Amino acid sequence: MYSFDDMIERRHTHSVKWDETERFFGVKDVLPMWVADMDFQAPPAVLEALAKRVEHGVFGYTAIPLSLKEAIRDWMQQRHQWSVEPYWMSFCTGVVPALATAIEAFTSPHDRIVVFPPVYPPLFQLVQKNDRQLVTCPLLLTEKGYAINWADLQEKLKGAKMLLLCSPHNPGGRVWTKEELTTLGTLCLENGVIVVSDEIHADLTLPPCRHTPFASTDEAFADISVTCIAPTKTFNLAGLQAAVAIIPNSSMKKQFDAVQQRQGFFTLNAFAVAGTEAAYRYGSDWLDALLEYIKENIDRTCSFINASFPRVRAMSPEATYLVWIDCRGLGIPEQQLKQLLLHKGKIAVEMGSKFGEEGRGFIRLNVACHRQTLESAFQRLAVAFEGL
Ligand SMILES: Cc1ncc(COP(=O)(O)O)c(C=O)c1O
């Protein structure tokens, strides 16, 4: 019913991934497999809603209707079995802005904020840029993927104000289990630590794995939580800029909203409102089809890499379209790896150290692309790693 096999030309659309690669990497004609968006069109229902909005032609100040909040409520209930109330929702232009607002609302300069590296870079950059103290609790790399170091976490939470959780985790693609989230929540409760859970990748959890929203595991956890979700990763709408912070604790919600008011932020743009509601209301079947396509791309990628390069190990993610690849076995410094990929292989990927020192020696490959693009990426990786 839905096809992801149309090759859409993204060059000359001001795409960060396709039009800015040369600026970011300093090399011409490299295949962009880096920034986390997809090369697929948004669901037909979203395209229709946006076209209808354009056709109307008047783009005045736009309110956030109750129907949008209800669409989000129903989505969270149906896809994640979490009952959220419309009045728990604060809208933001992105998850990163939501995280920044939460940091400002619930912590003060020099407060300690815990993160789990290797992790999506803005999580630690926001802490540092807001003059908070970054406390790292590095994940342990096990045979089954990344795991939380509980003894270390117990120490690091002492005196901390906030924990920034990435759930599912980027990079590495771990989907935290209910048991892990319960242990984490219990420790945070004991230490009076607020949990800000970035769940932007939740909808991209690959069956049979299931995502559990942190705040849904226990009412007491909901009371110390901010859950950040967005239609942007799920439906490839990053250019529309929309996200939601779900805050069940009413006094925390007031504090969060007060910061947004201080910043002069009140509402989303007209396209974000129309696109988000259509996506959550009508996007479920499209998402199921997308996940199948992505899963096939992930399987092909892991098979190709693990069979072709014995000293490289691609980790199959439980969520997301980002494959985290351990290149430490090649025994070359990151700078040399980057040069080989960019200049010899002509492929742009995210280098692991961007996600913290713990990521050095890894690369992150975005496989949310057409199969032909994926094949081209394989050929380029083979050229880059030739002779190693
Ligand atoms: C974990 C995580 N959080 C947030 C974002 C970005 O969110 P937004 O574009 O809504 O600011 C990304 C994008 O890759 C991400 O991976």
Could you identify the atom of ligand 1 that is nearest to the CA of residue 92?
Answer: 10
Give the span between the Cα atoms of 203 and 80, in whole angstroms.
Answer: 8
Place of tokens 């000293």: 311
Question: What is the three-class DSSP state of 320?
Answer: coil
Could you identify the atom of ligand 1 that is nearest to the CA of residue 37?
Answer: 14
**DSSP per residue, 202-245:** GGGBPTT-----GGGS-HHHHTTEEEEE-HHHHTT-GGG--EEE
Of 243, 313, 233, 195, nearest to 97 by C-alpha is 243
Q: What is the pLDDT of residues 235-250, one digit of tens each?
A: 999 999 999 999 999 9
Residue 144's pLDDT is what? 87
Q: Tell me, in angstroms, the distance from the centre of ligand 1 to residue 308's CA.
A: 31
Place of tokens 């409760």: 189
Residue bearing the CA closest to ligand 1, atom 14: 36
Give the span between the Cα atoms of 62 and 67, in whole angstroms.
Answer: 14
Q: Which residues sit with their C-beta closer than 6 Å to ligand 1? A: 36, 94-96, 120, 166, 170, 198, 200, 230, 232, 238, 243
Q: How far is CA 206 from the centre of its chain?
A: 14
Domains of the chain: 16-43+285-385 (3.90.1150.10), 46-282 (3.40.640.10)
Place of tokens 């199959």: 316
Q: Tell me, in angstroms, the distance from the centre of ligand 1 to residue 57's CA.
A: 30
Give the span between the Cα atoms of 276 and 243, in whole angstroms.
Answer: 9
Q: Which of 17, 90, 95 to mutate to test the pocket of ligand 1 (most atoms within 8 A of CB)?
A: 95
Q: What is the pLDDT of residues 286-340, one digit of tens each?
A: 999 999 999 999 999 999 999 999 999 999 999 999 999 999 999 999 999 999 9
Which tokens sit at 178? 């209910």
Q: How many CB atoms lie within 10 A of CB 341?
A: 25
Pairs from 102-105 (Cβ < 8 Å, separation ≥ 24): 102/162, 102/194, 102/196, 102/226, 102/228, 102/245, 102/256, 103/127, 103/130, 103/132, 103/162, 103/196, 104/130, 104/259, 105/252, 105/255, 105/256, 105/258, 105/259
Q: Tell me, in angstroms, the distance from the centre of ligand 1 to residue 288's CA.
A: 21
Q: Tell me, in angstroms, the distance from the centre of ligand 1 to residue 200's CA.
A: 6
Residue 167's pLDDT is what? 98
Could you identify the atom of ligand 1 that is nearest to the CA of residue 238?
Answer: 9
What CA–CA distances, in Å, run from 374 to 5, 234, 367? 12, 20, 7
Which tokens sit at 124? 């630690």
**The model's pTM:** 0.98
What CA–CA distances, in Å, run from 336 to 32, 83, 305, 330? 19, 49, 19, 11
Of 6, 4, 34, 5, nearest to 19 by C-alpha is 34
Question: What is the three-class DSSP state of 309?
Answer: coil
Residue 1's pLDDT is what? 85
Q: For the chain, which residues score pLDDT lower than 70?
A: none
Residue 33's pLDDT is what? 97
Give the span between the Cα atoms of 21 and 34, in whole angstroms.
Answer: 9
Q: Tell me, in angstroms, the distance from the centre of ligand 1 to residue 229's CA.
A: 9
Q: Tell me, in angstroms, the distance from the centre of ligand 1 to residue 108's CA.
A: 23
Give the span between the Cα atoms of 302 and 289, in whole angstroms.
Answer: 20
Calculate ∠ Cα 182-79-189, nearest 5°: 20
Residue bearing the CA closest to ligand 1, atom 9: 94
Q: Tell me, in angstroms, the distance from the centre of ligand 1 to residue 109's CA.
A: 24
Q: Tell me, in angstroms, the distance from the centre of ligand 1 to residue 96's CA.
A: 6
Could you identify the atom of ligand 1 that is nearest to the CA of residue 119?
Answer: 1
What CA–CA distances, in Å, run from 284 to 1, 126, 236? 13, 32, 14
Could you identify the atom of ligand 1 that is nearest to the CA of residue 36?
Answer: 14
Of 188, 237, 243, 190, nearest to 215 by C-alpha is 188
Residues written for the chain = 388
Q: Which helix (H) or strand (E) holds 377?
A: helix 371-385
- Complete edge-to-edge strand list for the sheet that includes strand 133-136: 89-92, 243-246, 225-229, 194-198, 160-166, 112-115, 133-136
Could you identify the atom of ligand 1 that is nearest to the CA of residue 322?
Answer: 16
Cβ neighbours of residue 129 closer than 8 Å, sequence gap 6 or more = none
209 touches 237 (CB < 8 A): no
Q: Are strands 160-166 and 194-198 parallel, antiparallel or unpaired?
A: parallel
Q: Tell me, in angstroms, the distance from the centre of ligand 1 to residue 383's CA.
A: 31
Could you identify the atom of ligand 1 that is nearest to the CA of residue 120?
Answer: 1
Residue bearing the CA closest to ligand 1, atom 13: 36
Q: Tell me, in angstroms, the distance from the centre of ligand 1 to residue 350's CA.
A: 15
Could you identify the atom of ligand 1 that is nearest to the CA of residue 170?
Answer: 1
